[in-house]
Amino acid sequence: MNQDRDILTVIVAIVLLSALALGFGAIKEQWRQQAPEMVSGPPPAYDDRGRALAQKCAACHDLTSARAVRPSGPPLWGVVDALAGGSRYAHSRAFRDVTGAECLIWSRDNLDRYLRNPNEVLPGGASGFAGLSNPEERAALLDYLMTLRDEPSPVDRSLAPDNYDTVYKSLRDKRGRLGKEWRLVGKREAQKCQGCHDLSRKSRELLAPPLWRMVGRAAGKARGFCYSPAFQAELKHRGGWRWDERELYRFLYNPQGSMPGTRMLFRGVRDDAARMALIAYLKTLR
């Protein structure tokens, strides 16, 4: 009887032990699979001089593509060749006065002057950064800053079809009036502009020039607004133009296509009738 019990105990013990061993084996196998791969290849280039110097800037500025606006300074991602003060950072009065009056672009030259002595370019600015006197260090830093930008995405260059007159006629009744359904379409399309443009008679400058009384107005004339270099180049090239209905019809189809490099990062209104109705609505804003 006792002997039987002993044998039973031994069998139970063996079964338990092998179960344990099996369990351990499975867990170990799982761990092995989850263990991170060892990183191979050369170590990252931490000896890069410009990158090391940029650590000074990172104390106040976000340098990543997240473009975080910190209380201590504006984001610097994409700053080279950008418009000064283009982020949502609440700049000092002195900064806005100088950069706004000149529509300053952070070209390499301007950045070089600024980094040599911030106070010389922006007297009374709130940077609190003493500057980098060594020209080689500035050059290395600028090389690095130039890498902080998005890969340029391919621009869709498609242009508005040349069918203004046909579309205009198709939308009007015999007395030349736009049907009620199209008036509603125009109003709805205009909501797409409101994220950036003020459409009210208050004519506030938001991210973009106000659109009150825009139809018929000369292009690029919103006072105090800093137009992009692309916009300014177009003004120079064409010697200016008026935003009449045809111009708007052409431009609003695909702003990036008709003016590559414009700050108006808006896909456009591709539907011809909807665009025409939008322009009719814009005409009422006066």
**253 close to 273: Cβ distance less than 8 angstroms:** no
Between 6 and 156, name the residue whose CB sits nearer to ligand HEC.
156
What is the smallest separation between the CB atom of 106 and ligand HEC, expressed in angstroms?
6
Between 56 and 187, name the residue whose CB sits nearer to ligand HEC.
56
What is the smallest separation between the CB atom of 193 and ligand HEC, expressed in angstroms?
3
What is the smallest separation between the CB atom of 137 and ligand HEC, expressed in angstroms?
9
Between 15 and 68, name the residue whose CB sits nearer to ligand HEC.
68
What is the smallest separation between the CB atom of 232 and ligand HEC, expressed in angstroms?
8
Between 178 and 269, name the residue whose CB sits nearer to ligand HEC.
269
Grouping H, G, I as helix, E, B as strand and the rest as coil, residue 105 is strand
Between 168 and 253, name the residue whose CB sits nearer to ligand HEC.
253
Residues in the site for ligand HEC, rule: CB under 6 A? Answer: 56-57, 59-61, 72-74, 76, 79, 84-85, 87, 89, 91-92, 94-95, 106, 111, 115, 125-129, 132, 141, 192-193, 195-197, 207-209, 211, 214, 219-220, 222, 227-228, 230-231, 243, 252, 262-266, 269, 278, 282
What is the smallest separation between the CB atom of 72 and ligand HEC, expressed in angstroms?
6
Q: Which residues contact 181 (CB under 8 A, 6 or more apart)?
A: none
Per residue, what are the HEC states of 158-175? CCCCCCHHHHHHHHECCC
What is the smallest separation between the CB atom of 268 and ligand HEC, expressed in angstroms?
8
Q: 10 Å Cβ neighbour count for 167?
A: 17
Two tokens, residue 276:
């025409």
Q: How buried is residue 238: exposed, middle or buried, by Cβ count under 10 Å (0-12/13-18/19+)?
A: exposed
**222 close to 209: Cβ distance less than 8 angstroms:** yes
Nearest of 221, 263, 232, 268 to residue 249 by alpha carbon: 268
Two tokens, residue 252:
């609003």
Between 51 and 197, name the residue whose CB sits nearer to ligand HEC.
197
Total residues found in the chain within this entry: 286
